[in-house]
Amino acid sequence: MTALNMAELEARVARGEKLERVDLAGLNLSGAQLGRAQLQRVDLDGANLESADLTGALLQGASLREAFLVGAKLARAALNNADFDGANLSGADLTEADLTRANLAGAKLEGAKLRGARLRYAQLDSCDLVDADLEGASFSHADLTDAQLSGARASRAAFSRAVLERAELRDAVLVDADFEGANLEKAQLSNADCTGARFLEADLTQARLDGSVLHDADLRRANLQGASIKGADLTGAHLFGANCERGKLVGAMATWVDLSPGADGERRGTLDQAFGSADVAAAGGGERRYFGAGDVLRHAELEFHDGAKVEIQSSFEHCTIRLGKNTELTVGPSGRLFDCTVVGGRLRVLGRIVEQKSPALIDTSQLFVSEQGAVSATVQQPPESTRFAFERGCRLRVHIMPSISGSE
């Protein structure tokens, strides 16, 4: 490689010379005027390019490892296959830059401008994109494992098939962003604005979306196993085929959700219907919750606040149901609670409660069993004792035990 100083470099760039494979490693090029420079495959490792103007420059395959590019101007630059490993590009302008297959592993891009930039197949693991402007950028098939994107503005950005395992997207703006088929396992999206975002067939296993806004988000066939969506707003979300087994939705809300295969809104339902085996918290204040016949919930934790009315016509297995003091739970004729624990509230049993572990009913204030009902369970009474009412013909096998201090 041929070595150059800053003055010689600027002069040759001004003449439009092609400077391929030039050795510029470690040079102080702060503030250099290198717009439209032809610097393919040059060595800029460790160079100081603070506030340098590289607008429209050609840097394909260049090496900029550990380079200092704070505030640099790289709008519309060709940076595909460039190596920015460990480089500092905080506050840099990379608007509409081409970073296809570039290596940005461990790079610092805090507050950088990447609007409309192309980062397809780029390596961005452990990259710092906090508060970056990523609107309309393309990260399709990119690797963003452990990347930091808190507070990033990424409306209409494309992350399809990207890897975002353990990525930090807290408070990010992801309106209309595309995550189709992306891997977001254990990603952190708490308080993110995901309005209209597309998570079709995305993997959100154990992801955290607490407090996020998911209005009209497309989560069809998404994997949300073990995900936490506490306090999120899913009104109008498309949830056909979504898997939220062992998920946590305590405090999540939705006026309605779309359960139609084509996301056309033809089949509307509730979160309870969409996430049959999730940890769903029903609202109180006299609201009604209905679990229809044919549904099966397994290993769920449900909480219904004071005053709610709940009707179960489906099959619950190995679930925990917590009820407010004045919450009424009706197990309908088609309802079946197998090996479940019910804490608090008032129970009307027209179906079946079958317990194999003890106790099944804890601190229940009232228990009514109709003539067609069946209860085989241990009842742990509250301090004021449970009020029982049984109709002739019901099937009972009840063991009553005193309340244990500190029980739920």
Flag whether 406 is in a domain: no
- d(C-alpha 358, C-alpha 1), whole Å: 78
Flag whether 193 is in a domain: yes
Q: Indicate whether 389 and 367 sit together in one domain.
A: yes
Flag whether 395 is in a domain: yes
Q: Indicate whether 138 and 265 sit together in one domain.
A: yes
Domain end call among 104, 126, 148: 126
Flag whether 407 is in a domain: no
Give the pTM: 0.70
Full domain range(s) for residue 323? 288-401
Block residue for tokens 């500190």: 406
Domain end call among 108, 126, 144: 126
Q: Indicate whether 376 and 246 sit together in one domain.
A: no
How confident is residue 139, by pLDDT bands cut at 50, 70 and 90?
very high
Q: Indicate whether 74 and 158 sit together in one domain.
A: no
Q: Indicate whether 143 and 209 sit together in one domain.
A: yes
% helix / strand / coil in the chain, to the nearest 5? 5, 30, 65
Q: Indicate whether 12 and 121 sit together in one domain.
A: yes
Residue 300 exposure: Cα atoms within 13 Å on the Cβ side: 29
C-alpha dist (Å) from residue 395 to 118, 375, 390, 398: 67, 6, 9, 10
**Interval 306-314 mean pLDDT:** 83
- d(C-alpha 139, C-alpha 157), whole Å: 7
- Residue 203 sits in a domain whose CATH number is 2.160.20
Q: Indicate whether 181 and 223 sit together in one domain.
A: yes
Flag whether 338 is in a domain: yes
Flag whether 350 is in a domain: yes
Q: What single DSSP character describes residue 209?
A: -
Q: Indicate whether 196 and 265 sit together in one domain.
A: yes
Domain end call among 212, 245, 280: 280
**Interval 177-188 mean pLDDT:** 98
C-alpha dist (Å) from residue 158 to 74, 99, 278: 21, 14, 29
pLDDT tens profile 38-68: 999 999 999 999 999 999 999 999 999 999 9
Q: Indicate whether 5 and 113 sit together in one domain.
A: yes
Flag whether 319 is in a domain: yes
pLDDT tens profile 2-49: 567 889 999 999 999 999 999 999 999 999 999 999 999 999 999 999
pLDDT confidence of residue 294: 63
pLDDT tens profile 219-278: 999 999 999 998 899 999 999 889 888 778 777 888 788 888 888 877 787 777 676 555
Q: Indicate whether 266 and 356 sit together in one domain.
A: no
**Number of structural domains, the chain?**
3
Q: Indicate whether 161 and 233 sit together in one domain.
A: yes
Flag whether 244 is in a domain: yes
Q: Indicate whether 242 and 197 sit together in one domain.
A: yes
Instruction: Please report, rounded to a whole number, the percentage of residues in the chain having pLDDT higher than 90.
Output: 65
